[in-house]
Amino acid sequence: MTIQTVSTNKSYGGVQGVYRHASQATGTDMVFSVYVPPHASDARLPVVWYLSGLTCTHANVTEKGEFRKACAELGLIFVAPDTSPRGPDVPGDANNAYDFGLGAGFYVDATQEPFARNYRMWSYVTDELPKLIAENFPVDVQRQSVMGHSMGGHGALTAALRNPHRFRAASAFAPIVAPSQVPWGIKALTGYLGPNKDTWRNHDTVALIEDGAKFSGFLVDYGDADNFLKEQLKPELLQEACTRTNIPLTLRRQVGYDHSYYFISTFMSDHLHWHAARLTA
């Protein structure tokens, strides 16, 4: 699989790149970013996957996430995919809403028309893109972890629970932990997967845990000034599920922080150090 370089910039001794390729999974061109820290020419480095939230592309975390200094110090490759397929022929929300369609792929493989052809973000971020990264960057595929924000936090936690032997660590900023129970998730899962809620459970962190999925432990931060906290995020549901099943969870309530990248960038270094400790153990 070939990639096209959109841009590269030196940062903290490493290279921040943006790349494009033709995706077989989505049937569209997809753009993603990769930061490769300074390293020996023969080194293979651990990789952290970052899944972004509603309305985002690769660019939000790349420009606002403030991850490069920590990644350079810790020797971590940082990969940020897009959140949905894009293009003139890709269907979006009928009312142009922000929480479905373009920018809101929810990290599932859609089965409902007209979305099934392009909206295959689960296959893209868990299969196609990892193979592409392994072919083109100096990654150690035995040392991978995953993190994300909001919708991407949902994606990261479900990816970890469904692939516990691939990912050594998983964390999230303000994740949607129970999409089957909140408006964002109900809209997206109905639209992409149909009305049968049994088919939603593989894409619901709390439901996966209820159904027996396990992981070594999670780090989750949320802000108590987050406007979406009570209606959409409900971190207490994750806490209850992890407590019942003895999954280690570090759940941190950050006073005064909201849902924005001001919040994410503040605690990004904490998360990357947490990942590095598990990736290099």
CA distance between the termini of the chain: 32
Sheet containing 45-51, strands listed edge to edge, beginning at the edge strand earlier in sequence? 4-11, 14-22, 29-36, 77-80, 45-51, 139-149, 167-173, 218-223, 249-254
Catalytic: 226? yes
Tokens representing residue 115 in the block: 């979305």
Of 149, 154, 259, 271, catalytic: 259
Of 23, 226, 271, 275, catalytic: 226
- Cα separation, 262 vs 188, in Å, equals 26
Tokens representing residue 160 in the block: 């970890």
- Asked if 67 contacts 268 with a C-beta cutoff of 8 angstroms, the reply is yes
The count of residues in the chain is 281
Which burial class, exposed, middle or buried, applies to 275 when counting CB atoms under 10 A from its CB (0-12, 13-18, 19+)? buried
- Tell me how far apart the 2 most distant CA atoms of the chain are, in Å: 51
Closest CA to 272 of 73, 83, 129, 40: 73
Tokens representing residue 29 in the block: 């061109």
DSSP 9: E
Catalytic: 259? yes
Of 23, 150, 154, 203, catalytic: 150
Catalytic residue positions, numbered: 150, 226, 259
